[in-house]
Amino acid sequence: MRAGPTQEEVRRHNLGTLLRYVHVHGATSRAELTNRLGLNRSTIGALTAELISVGLVSEAAPRETGRAGRPSLVVRPESGRVYAYALSIEVDRLRAARVGLGGRILEQYETERPPGMSADDAVQPLARFVRQMRAGVPDDARCVGSGLAVAGMVRRADGVVRLAPTIGWVEEPVGEALLTELGESGRLTLGNHADVCALAEHSRGAAVDCDNVIYLYGDVGVGAGIVAGGHRVTGHGGYSGEVGHMVVNPYGRPCSCGSRGCWETEIGEHALLRVAGRADRTGKDAVLEVVDAAMRGDSQAQHALRQVGDWLGFGVGNLVNIFNPEVVIFGGTLRDVYLGAAAQIRSRLNAVGLPACREHVRLRTPELGADAALIGAAELAFEHLLDDPLLS
Amino acid sequence: MRAGPTQEEVRRHNLGTLLRYVHVHGATSRAELTNRLGLNRSTIGALTAELISVGLVSEAAPRETGRAGRPSLVVRPESGRVYAYALSIEVDRLRAARVGLGGRILEQYETERPPGMSADDAVQPLARFVRQMRAGVPDDARCVGSGLAVAGMVRRADGVVRLAPTIGWVEEPVGEALLTELGESGRLTLGNHADVCALAEHSRGAAVDCDNVIYLYGDVGVGAGIVAGGHRVTGHGGYSGEVGHMVVNPYGRPCSCGSRGCWETEIGEHALLRVAGRADRTGKDAVLEVVDAAMRGDSQAQHALRQVGDWLGFGVGNLVNIFNPEVVIFGGTLRDVYLGAAAQIRSRLNAVGLPACREHVRLRTPELGADAALIGAAELAFEHLLDDPLLS
C-alpha cells in the first residue's frame, strides 16, 4: 500500500505516459495526445518540450491535412537516436538487433544455433553482432540498455538461465557471460522467449487493446506468455507460463522434464513429426512440410495434424477455463499447426471450454512473426526509460 | 494509458490508502501510518481528520505503552458505524452477515440450502436475514452496500448467475431478484465464491503479503480464486478460475459440464465418496467421516484419500507450472483432503511441477474458514468506499 505521488512524481509519470504513448502508437499529433491522455494543451506542450530537450522525441508540422486552421504539431519518438540492443536465444537461431524507440528494428543479424551449442559458445556470436552494430551507431545516438530473450526459464534478478530443456542448458549464467564478453557493465534485462513475444504482440501486434491474452509458442517445447487484466503474469520467481508442462495425458509419453504426458509431448514438433511418420526430421521446415503435405492430400500428414490439433485445442480449452481470455495467439510451429487444423482445434476447444469462458475468445496468428522476440526483448530494455524518461 | 492524477485526485487517493490500511491492518498508530504510507506527519494528521469528519475512522490515545514521550494517537476503522451486508449462496448453505469496516463480522445468520432449491426460493431467506439485521442497526450507522458471493459463474455487470452446475442454476438474475425482494435500489456487487474467498484470505488470512496466490475451493465442484502479481485474475468476462474444468484425465468420467475427465470429477466430494465406497452419502460431514475413517485405519478410506490426493497434487502441479505461485490454499472439502493426504499431494506436485515453479510454494489451509465467503463478499461492497472514501 503506497501513498499517492508528489507533484514531481506526477510530472515524471506524465512524461513517461506521453513517451510511452508515442513509443507504442508512433507519430501522434498534440491534439490527439491532449485527447488520449486527458491533459490540457499547455501541459502537453510543456511535457513535449521537456522530452525534446532530453532528445527522446521530436516535433514537426504534419503533412498537408487539407483542413483549414493551424494544424496540430506531430510528436514522434526519436527512433534513430534512442535505441536498445535486443538479443534472442532460440532453439535453432541466435538473433540480435538494434531497435529504436518506437519499436522500429534499425538493423538485425542472425545465425543458426546448432543443436548442443553451449551457453558460452552461443554468447560469442551475439556479442560479435553487438560489436558490429556498435561500430556503426551515429555519434549522437543513445543506448538505453539491452534485452535478452531466452527460450527457457530465466531468473531475472541475476540473468541466470535456470532451465532450458529444449536448448539443453541448466543453471547457465548467460547474462553475466554476455556482459563480460561485451566488456561493459551496461543494463541487461533477461526474459523468457514466450513472455517477451506476448509483450510485443500485446503492445503492437495481434493483441493490441486486449487485456487478457494467452500467447502460445511452440517448437520442440511449448511455453506461454500471459497477460491478465492488462498485467503480465510472471509468477513469484518469474517462471510462470510453463504451460508446455501442464500434464494433459497422464498415460502419455515421458517428457524431458521427468514427468509424463506434458502438453508439449502431444503438441511439440516432435509429436507432429512422429505421428506424420517423419521422426527422423526436425525443425520448422519439417513442420511446414507436414502442413504442405496435408494440404496436398497426404493422409498420414492429415492424420498427424488432426491428432496434434486435437491436443492443441484440448490444452487451449483448459487455459481458457483458467484465464477466460479475449485472444489466444499461436506462435512458432503452433502457428502452422493452427493454420492446418483450425477446425479441429476450435472443435476440441468448444468441447473442453465452458461456454462463458470461451464465448468471446478469438484465435489468432502472430502479427510480428520472428521479430516479436526482438521487439519484445527491446521492450524489456525500454521499460526503465518509459517508467521515468529523465533517469539516465 | 492514463496521465498522472491531479492534486485533488492525489489527496483522495491518499485518503483511500490510509482508510484501506486501517481497514486491513486494524488500529494503527499515526507514527506507523507515517512510516508505512511514506507521508509526513502533518499530512497523516490532515487525512485522518478528514476521515474522522466523514465518520469513517476514529482516533484515541493508545493504551499505556510504558515508554517515555508523548504516545502517538491510534487510528481505527469505525467498524460499528460503517458496514456492508455480505451474502453467500453455497451448495448447501445460505449465509448472511453484517460486516463492519475493518472486516469485522458484527452479526451473522445462516440456513441450509436443500438440494434443488430454486434461485427465487434462495433469495427469500437471504432477504429475510437482511431485513432482520436492518431492524437492529443503530441509527447513526451507515451501510456502504452489499456483496453477494455465489458458488457459480457470475456476470458482474448485471448480477446474473450464468452457470452454477453444482447448485443447478442457469442464467438466473439473482442480483435483480434480491434487490427487488429487499425493495431497494442499493449497491449490490456479485462475485464468485472462490474469488471472494481468495480476496479475503489474501487481505487478512493465509495469503497476507503474498502476491501470487491460488485459492482452491472444493465441494461437489472445484473452483479457484487467483491472484497474480498482486492483482486478481478475473478474465475478460469475470469467468476465470474454472480450474475444476481443467481436464486432467481425458479417459476419465463424464463431467456435469458435458466434457470428460475434468479435475472436479477426480477430486470433488463425489469422487472421494465413490472411491471410499460411500457413494450414497454427500456433503462436508461425509467427507470428514472418510478422513476420520482413514485415520482410524479403514483401508478403503485410506485408498480413497490417496487416490484423490494424488489427483489433487497432479492438478496443483499443473497450476504451479502455469502460475509459479507462493502459496496454494485448500478450502472447502479440499481442506480435509489436504489434511488427510498432504504427503501424497506434495509427492505428486513434486513430480508434475517443475523445480523452479514449485521451489517456493507453500501449501496452506485457510485461516478464515467459512467466514471467508462473507468477509470476501463484504470486500466487494467496501471496494467503492476504499477507492474513494469521499464518494457517498
Q: Which helix (H) or strand (E) holds A18?
A: helix A7-25
Hey, what's the cell of B105?
Answer: 463480522
Q: Which residue in B has a C-alpha nearest to residue A353's C-alpha?
A: B245
B221 with B359, same domain?
yes
A233 and B233 in contact by Cβ < 8 A? yes
What is the pLDDT of chain B when averaged over all its residues? 93
Residue at grid coordinates 527460450: A151
A248 with A352, same domain?
yes
- The closest of B48, B212, B237 to A233, measured between CA atoms, is B212
A322 and B243 in contact by Cβ < 8 A? yes
pLDDT tens digits along B338-349: 999 999 999 999
Q: Is A254 at the interface with chain B, CB within 8 A?
A: no
Residue B264 has pLDDT above 80, yes or no: yes
A392 within some domain: no
A95 within some domain: yes
B330 within some domain: yes
B122 within some domain: yes
**Interface list for A 40-59 with B (CB within 8 A):** none
B51 with B112, same domain?
no
Question: What pLDDT score was predicted for residue B2?
Answer: 64
d(CA B64, CA B187): 42
Inter-helix orientation angle A30-37/A41-53, to 10°:
110
Residue B1 has pLDDT above 60, yes or no: no
- The closest of A238, A239, A262, A258 to A249, measured between CA atoms, is A262
A1 within some domain: no
A219 with A243, same domain?
yes
Q: If you ran DSSP here, which 8-state letter would residue A281 be given?
A: -
B257 and A1 in contact by Cβ < 8 A? no
User: Which range among A203-212, B179-188, B330-339, B381-390 shows the weakest confidence by mean pLDDT?
Assistant: B179-188
What is the pLDDT of chain A when averaged over all its residues? 93
B314 and A250 in contact by Cβ < 8 A? yes
Question: What pLDDT score was predicted for residue A362?
Answer: 98
> What is the pLDDT confidence band of residue A23, given thresholds at 50, 70 and 90?
very high
- Which position has the higher pLDDT, B138 or A4? B138
- Selected for mutation to probe chain B from A239, A248, A253, A388 (highest B CB count within 10 Å) is A239
Question: What pLDDT score was predicted for residue B64?
Answer: 63
A150 with A288, same domain?
no
B356 and A162 in contact by Cβ < 8 A? yes
- Number of neighbours of residue A277 by Cβ within 10 angstroms: 14
Question: What pLDDT score was predicted for residue A165?
Answer: 84
CATH number at residue A47: 1.10.10.10
ipTM greater than cut 0.90: yes
Q: Which residue in A has a C-alpha nearest to residue B235's C-alpha?
A: A324
Question: What pLDDT score was predicted for residue A125?
Answer: 96
> What is the pLDDT confidence band of residue A9, given thresholds at 50, 70 and 90?
confident
Q: How many residue pairs from chains A and B have C-beta atoms closer than 8 A?
A: 204
Question: What pLDDT score was predicted for residue A129?
Answer: 97
A14 within some domain: yes
- The closest of B109, B143, B136, B145 to B124, measured between CA atoms, is B109
Which residue, of B29, B47, B77, is where some domain finishes?
Answer: B77
A245 and B359 in contact by Cβ < 8 A? no
Which residue, of A48, A77, A106, is where some domain finishes?
Answer: A77
Helix then strand then coil, in percent of chain A rounded to 5, is 45, 25, 35
Domain coverage including residue A161: 82-196+371-387
Q: How many percent of chain B have pLDDT more than 70?
A: 97
Question: What pLDDT score was predicted for residue B75?
Answer: 96
pLDDT tens digits along B329-375: 999 999 999 999 999 999 999 999 999 999 999 999 999 988 999 99
pLDDT tens digits along A270-320: 999 999 999 999 989 999 999 999 999 999 999 999 999 999 999 999 999
CB B389 within 8 A of CB B16: yes
d(CA A57, CA B95): 58
State how far residue B262 is from chain A, nearest Cα, in angstroms.
9
B354 and A239 in contact by Cβ < 8 A? yes
Question: What pLDDT score was predicted for residue A63?
Answer: 72
Q: What mean pLDDT is predicted for residues A35-52?
A: 92
Which residue, of B62, B77, B92, is where some domain finishes?
Answer: B77
B301 with B192, same domain?
no
d(CA A358, CA A353): 6
B349 with B216, same domain?
yes
B177 within some domain: yes
CATH number at residue B108: 3.30.420.40
> What is the pLDDT confidence band of residue A147, given thresholds at 50, 70 and 90?
very high
Question: What pLDDT score was predicted for residue A247?
Answer: 97
Question: What pLDDT score was predicted for residue A156?
Answer: 79
d(CA B92, CA B154): 18
φ and ψ at residue B33, rounded to 5 degrees: -60, -40
pLDDT tens digits along B8-19: 888 888 999 999
pLDDT tens digits along B217-260: 999 999 999 999 999 999 999 999 999 999 999 999 999 899 99
Q: What mean pLDDT is predicted for residues B319-337?
A: 97
State how far residue A109 is from chain B, nearest Cα, in angstroms.
32
State how far residue B22 is from chain A, nearest Cα, in angstroms.
11
A192 with A212, same domain?
no
CA angle B33/B34/B38 to nearest 5° reads: 110
Which residues have CB under 8 Å from A360's CB, separation 6+?
A: A326, B236, B237
State how far residue B107 is from chain A, nearest Cα, in angstroms.
29
A167 with A20, same domain?
no
Question: Count of domains in chain B?
Answer: 3
Residue B6 has pLDDT above 80, yes or no: no
pLDDT tens digits along B34-93: 999 888 899 999 999 999 999 999 999 887 666 666 778 999 999 999 999 999 999 999
Hey, what's the cell of A129?
Answer: 553482432
- Selected for mutation to probe chain A from B324, B326, B327, B347 (highest A CB count within 10 Å) is B324
Residue B270 has pLDDT above 60, yes or no: yes
Q: Is B234 at the interface with chain A, CB within 8 A?
A: yes
Q: Is B38 at the interface with chain A, CB within 8 A?
A: yes
Nearest to A20 among B1, B212, B228 (CB): B1
B306 with B241, same domain?
yes
Helices (H), B26-164: 30-37, 41-53, 119-135
Question: What pLDDT score was predicted for residue B159?
Answer: 86
In a 10 Å sphere around its CB, with 0-12 CB exposed, 13-18 middle and 19+ buried, how is residue B140 labelled? exposed
User: Which range among A54-63, B123-132, B189-198, B315-324 shows the weakest confidence by mean pLDDT?
Assistant: A54-63
Q: Is B121 at the interface with chain A, CB within 8 A?
A: no
Q: What mean pLDDT is predicted for residues A71-89?
A: 94
pLDDT tens digits along A329-342: 999 999 999 999 99
Question: What pLDDT score was predicted for residue A65?
Answer: 60
A153 and B239 in contact by Cβ < 8 A? no
Q: How many percent of chain B have pLDDT more than 90?
A: 84
Q: Is A20 at the interface with chain B, CB within 8 A?
A: yes
Question: What pLDDT score was predicted for residue A39?
Answer: 86
A186 with A313, same domain?
no
CB B287 within 8 A of CB B273: yes
B202 within some domain: no
Question: What pLDDT score was predicted for residue A1?
Answer: 57
A182 with A303, same domain?
no
Q: Which residue in A has a C-alpha nearest to residue B8's C-alpha?
A: A4
Chain A residue numbers touching B248 (CB-CB < 8 A): 247-248, 250
Q: Is A241 at the interface with chain B, CB within 8 A?
A: yes
Q: What mean pLDDT is predicted for residues A344-371?
A: 96
Q: Is A7 at the interface with chain B, CB within 8 A?
A: yes
